[in-house]
Amino acid sequence: KQEVTQIPAALSVPEGENLVLNCSFTDSAIYNLQWFRQDPGKGLTSLLLIQSSQREQTSGRLNASLDKSSGRSTLYIAASQPGDSATYLCAVEYGNKLVFGAGTILRVKS
């Protein structure tokens, strides 16, 4: 069964701190892995997509890594800001469909 797990479920940090969100998946036969951000009552915003052949992707203060063999991905956020507060979702693509984790709720305190 293809399952995606995200740890922690919630995280609260002071502004300026670097942080890591974790994602693990049970089936390593993935096409790609995508990290999304969801603000309350809003849709999903794509942050980073890592193809199965890649090890990491970077965009601004965000860095996502992928270790397919161990079934893990991390999202690193540098110098966190209050505007980063949102739910972060990890999604793994298997044969035309995305399987989502339950998300990590991030709160950055000013």
Partner 1 sequence: DTAVSQTPKYLVTQMGNDKSIKCEQNLGHDTMYWYKQDSKKFLKIMFSYNNKELIINETVPNRFSPKSPDKAHLNLHINSLELGDSAVYFCASSRQTSYEQYFGPGTRLTVT
Residue selected from 31, 70, 79, 83 as contacting partner 1 according to rule CB under 8 A: 31
Q: How far is CA 105 from the centre of its chain?
A: 11
Residue selected from 22, 32, 63, 74 as contacting partner 1 according to rule CB under 8 A: 32
CB 101 within 8 A of CB 22: no
The strand pairing partners of 46, in sequence order, are 36
Residue selected from 46, 58, 59, 70 as contacting partner 1 according to rule CB under 8 A: 46
Residue selected from 42, 61, 107, 109 as contacting partner 1 according to rule CB under 8 A: 42
Q: Which of residues 88-107 bind partner 1 (CB under 8 A)?
A: 89, 91, 93, 96-100, 102-103
End-to-end CA gap in the chain? 41
Q: If binding means CB under 8 A, how many residues of this protein chain bind partner 1?
A: 21
How many C-beta atoms lie closer than 10 Å to residue 25's C-beta? 24
Kindly list the distances between the CA atom of residue 74 and the CA atoms of 27, 40, 62, in Å, as whole numbers in the listed order. 17, 22, 10
Judged by the rule CB under 8 A, the positions of this chain that interact with partner 1 are: 31-32, 34, 36, 42-46, 49, 87, 89, 91, 93, 96-100, 102-103
